[in-house]
Structures are given as structure tokens and as C-alpha cells.
Copies of this chain bind each other. A is one copy, B any other.
Amino acid sequence: MKLTDEQKKEIKEQQSQQNLTKRVTATELEKILYDAIPILDHGFIRVVDYMGDDSSVVQSARVSYGKGTKKVSTDAGLIKYLMRHWHSTPFEMCEIKYHVKLPIFIARQWIRHRTANVNEYSARYSILDKEFYLPEPQHLAAQSQSNRQGRGDILDGDKAKKVLNLLKGDAEQTYNNYETMLNERYDGSTIDENTVGLARELARMNLTLNTYTQWYWKTDLLNLMNFLRLRADHHAQYEIRAYADAMLDTVKKWVPITYEAFMDYRVGGTEVSAKGKIIIQKLIKGENVSINDTSLSKREWNELMEAFDLKDKLI
């Protein structure tokens, strides 16, 4: 990640602010506020604003349940209870805003989470930075043969090199032609004073999907957890997971009690179907159960066994 001098100056100014407020503050999060945390080769995330902390979740739950929540003696106990029983509204009372720099093909996955507010850099108005994502060799994996949306083995050195050369060459060439069509360089300078360039809203179509874009992305804590649950999962594409992992760290600094409950009940937890419950009950009773005793598919059976780390039952 390479910040421009302008960006460095902006970050420094933002971090030098010292304002007095009557609002609750999250001490650990304040320490990294505005910091650019590097992701992939040119990307970053920065927490640029937030509202509320663990106490806001608790406060909202207590207004709902009134005197009824007095019996739950601790904030942690209440937050765990809310998480376990899928109470949603108290977690909506906290809000966070990120500044994110990311490749366009990842932005396209990300934007599918609709319950967020977004302001993206517009390539209709302005020229995009000359930066594109090139994976590290250890992330250049072959297509999985068993899972149509997954990755298989890492490509060997020669193949990886060839792939990287193609990606790099095409990104550079299409960007150069983007500049040519615009009659404008990435730094804003004009190429040929005697002619006009193609409209920016058209020229951008020549860029490849690994070009970096950036946006402000704001959401509440509930929807952030829904996002992270899917995107920090090992089924998620590595490139978006890299962002989700860094965001998980910011959640830990922001709302540490909610974070613990989230890791226990959502990220580390599993769902068991009605049919699955019967199988688990039999296993606990020491009964011998095989897939033939059930109506589960092979895939479903294996998912259940893996969830409980019963490797010897995999078929």
C-alpha cells in the first residue's frame, strides 16, 4: 500500500483532532481511528467514524425490556443472551464507517450487502488511480475440481509466473489505452493539448476488474456482523476475507463483549437441522448410525460430521 502525500497529510490532520464530547467513546478504537490498515497489495481499510459501544447495546436492550432486565446482572451476560436468541435491534444501535480501497471485482461482491450506506469514487467524474491487484504467488490457486466456486492446489512456480505476467501485462496495457482515450494521464496531466479525450464515463469501460476503487462504507453493528459472518468464513474468496479479517479486529477494539459473543455463537457455531439433531442424539446415546439410516445426502452427512469434528464418520 502506497498512500499519496495528500492522503498522508489528511490522515495526520484527522488524527491530530482532540475534541471533547459527551458521547460514549471506544478507547481502543480511538487509538487506530483514521489509520490505514494495509490489505492485499494496494488496498486498505480505515475506520473513519463510529457511534456507540457495548454499553449502547445494553442500554437499548434495557429500554426494551424495562424493569424486566434488571435480573441479568452483567452487561456481558445480557449481550450473550441477546446474541444467542437472535435479538437484532439492540445491535443496530451502533454504527461504524470505513474508508476502503479495494479491487473492483471484490467491490462487486461486497456491494451485494445492501443494508449499508456507500459513497464510491466515481469514474464518471474523475480518473481512477493506476493501481491493480496482482495476487501473491501463494494465492494463485487452480480451480477446485470438487467445488465449482473454490480453489484447489497452488499453481506451480512457472504457471504462476505466466499467470502474473498475463494479469500485469493486460492491466497495464488497458490502463495505458484508458489514458490514451482520455487524452489524460493518471496524474491529471493532458497528453495532447490539441485534441479532446473520450468522456470519462465511457473510457472507464476499458479497465480490467482488478483495478482498485475506493469508497466510504457505513453500516450498523448487526449488519456488519452479518457481513463478517459470511465474508470472514473460510468459504469466502480469499481476497474479500482479507478485508473481513482486518475488520474483525476493528470490531474487537470497538465492542469487545459483543465480539466475544459473536465469535462464540456465530463464527464458531454451527446449525443443526431437525434430521441432524436426531442423528446427534443417537450418537450421544452410543448408537451406531450410518447414512443409510437417514435421508441425508452424502454432502449433508459430511457437513454434519465435520461440524462436530467426527472425522472417522466421513464418507
Instruction: Specify which chain B residues have a CB less than 8 angstroms from the CB of A135 in the assembled complex.
Output: 202
Which of chain A's residues 206-252 have a Cβ closer than 8 Å to chain B?
206-210, 214-216, 218, 220, 230, 237
Q: Chain B residue with minimal CB distance to A10?
A: B59
Binding site secondary structure of chain A: mixed
Chain B positions within 8 Å of A138 at CB level: none
Which 3 pairs of residues, A with B, have the shortest CB-CB distance?
A: A268-B274, A66-B126, A68-B125
Whether A271 contacts B273 in the complex (CB less than 8 A), given A199-B144, A281-B309, comes out as no
Q: Write 27 A-B pairs (CB below 8 A) sorted by A numbering.
A: A15-B22, A20-B20, A21-B23, A23-B50, A24-B49, A51-B95, A59-B216, A63-B120, A67-B125, A68-B148, A90-B119, A93-B216, A95-B218, A108-B111, A111-B112, A112-B118, A114-B115, A139-B202, A141-B198, A143-B196, A143-B200, A148-B200, A149-B201, A265-B273, A269-B271, A271-B272, A280-B284
Bound form: Cα–Cα A117–B61 in Å: 12
A277/B271 contact (C-beta < 8 A), A64-B120, A122-B65 known: no
Among B24, B139, B271, B277, the residue within 8 A (CB) of A19 is B24
Provide the bound-state CA to CA distance between A297 and B78, in Å: 12
Question: What is the number of residues of chain A that contact chain B, defined by CB distance less than 8 Å?
Answer: 138
Do A52 and B49 touch across chains, with their CB atoms under 8 A apart?
Answer: yes
Determine whether A130 belongs to the interface, using a CB cutoff of 8 Å to chain B. no
Measured CA separation A150–B206 after assembly (Å):
18
Q: Using Cβ atoms and an 8 Å threshold, which residues of chain B touch A142?
A: 196-199
Q: A149: nearest residue on chain B (CB-CB)? A: B124
A124 CB to closest chain B CB (Å) equals 4
Complex Cα distance A33/B199, Å? Answer: 36
A181 within 8 A of B: yes
- A residues 165-193 near B (Cβ < 8 Å) are 166-167, 170-171, 173-174, 177, 180-182, 188
* Chain B residues within an 8 Å CB radius of A107: 108
Are A117's CB and B97's CB within 8 A?
Answer: no
Q: State whether A122 touches B68 (Cβ < 8 A).
A: yes
Cross-chain contact B180 with A166 (CB below 8 angstroms): yes
Are A20 and B25 in contact (CB-based, < 8 A)? yes
